[in-house]
Amino acid sequence: MKLLLDGKPVAENIKKNFVKKIEKIKQEKNKVPYLAVLGIKGDKASYTYIKKIEKNCEKYGIKFVLKLASSEEEFVKNFNEIKQNKEITGIMFQEPLTKKISNLINEIPPEKDIEGLSINNMGKLFLGNKNINIPCTSRAVIETLDYYNIDLVGKNVVIVGRSNIVGKALIPQFLNKNATVTICHSKTKNIEEILKMADIIVMAIGKAKFLKKDMIKENAILIDVGINFEDGKMVGDIDFDDVKDKAYAITPVPGGIGVVTNSLLIDNIIKSVI
């Protein structure tokens, strides 16, 4: 490994103008960014993640409200109230949610869709519209590659995973960089042969240490979006110790894409003020 793609300097570079941006919004629009998070009670990991978001909002003077419901009916009630609140500039749904509730994301006004996951925003992303909120984890991949000056033009990029927040959202972003994109998933045949042809691999399948050195070519660039736990320790979808001597560059877990994602969520919240 010649280059560790550490997420911390990337995140710091994104965050450096947050305070100035918020002060400018206050002066010019007499507003402050205001995030509302809606979810269902009961998921401990989800609640822990929400509290981290709240802490980051407090750090930058962003207003924050959390509405956790006990039922689908209460969630819908909370959502309708939030939608009508003109002070709130950004709305975020926190998984896990039922399909019925998840579909309500398409009723969020596009500019308030902090995660960029509504049909409106995803459609605009595929059509090349840049004035939108892009799903943060997918954007974190591109921001990290850009920060380390990794040229994507003509590169063979293989994305393993087809979620809306990562795999699907990355397709247009890589195409806009003139890369050649292949998506692999659980039904893909001969996945190892495909991976061995990749200049850049993005792993986002949630399988601990899935990618090994015999699956990659020499000097491949590896982006690990996976978050898994083994014996209480966070690990990615890439077996870091196994591939590090063969890869040209790799993101660590923790300390890689996740750190950048957190900063981009705040960036989207700030941009939501119109």
**Which pLDDT band holds residue 108 (cuts at 50, 70, 90)?**
very high
For the chain, list the domains and their CATH numbers.
30-109 (3.40.50.10860), 135-259 (3.40.50.720)
pLDDT, tens digit (0-9, with 9 covering 90-100), for 221-268: 999 999 999 988 999 999 999 999 999 999 999 999 999 999 999 999
Residues whose CB falls within 8 Å of the CB of residue 145, separated by 6 or more in sequence, listed in order: 5, 152, 200, 221, 223
- State how far the Cα of 66 lies from the Cα of 221, in Å rounded to an integer: 39
* Lookup result for tokens 């998933």: 185
Residue 125 DSSP one-character state: H
- State how far the Cα of 37 lies from the Cα of 49, in Å rounded to an integer: 11
Q: Out of 98-107, 126-135, 199-208, give the one with best mean pLDDT.
A: 199-208
| Mean pLDDT, residues 198-209 | 97
Sheet holding 34-40, edge to edge: 63-69, 34-40, 90-93
pLDDT, tens digit (0-9, with 9 covering 90-100), for 12-28: 999 999 999 999 999 99
Q: Are 219 and 248 in contact (CB under 8 A)?
A: yes
- State how far the Cα of 260 lies from the Cα of 241, in Å rounded to an integer: 22
Question: Token pair of 113, please?
Answer: 């869709």
**Which pLDDT band holds residue 71 (cuts at 50, 70, 90)?**
very high
Q: Does the pLDDT at position 113 exceed 80?
A: yes
Residue count of the chain, please give it. Answer: 274
Average pLDDT over the chain, rounded to whole? 95
Q: Output the pTM of the full model.
A: 0.94
User: What confidence score (pLDDT) does residue 131 get?
Assistant: 85
Question: Token pair of 79, please?
Answer: 């959502």
- State how far the Cα of 152 lies from the Cα of 150, in Å rounded to an integer: 6
User: What confidence score (pLDDT) does residue 274 get?
Assistant: 73
- State how far the Cα of 41 lies from the Cα of 43, in Å rounded to an integer: 6
Question: Token pair of 34, please?
Answer: 């205001």
What's CA 252's distance to the chain center, in Å? 16
User: What confidence score (pLDDT) does residue 104 get?
Assistant: 95
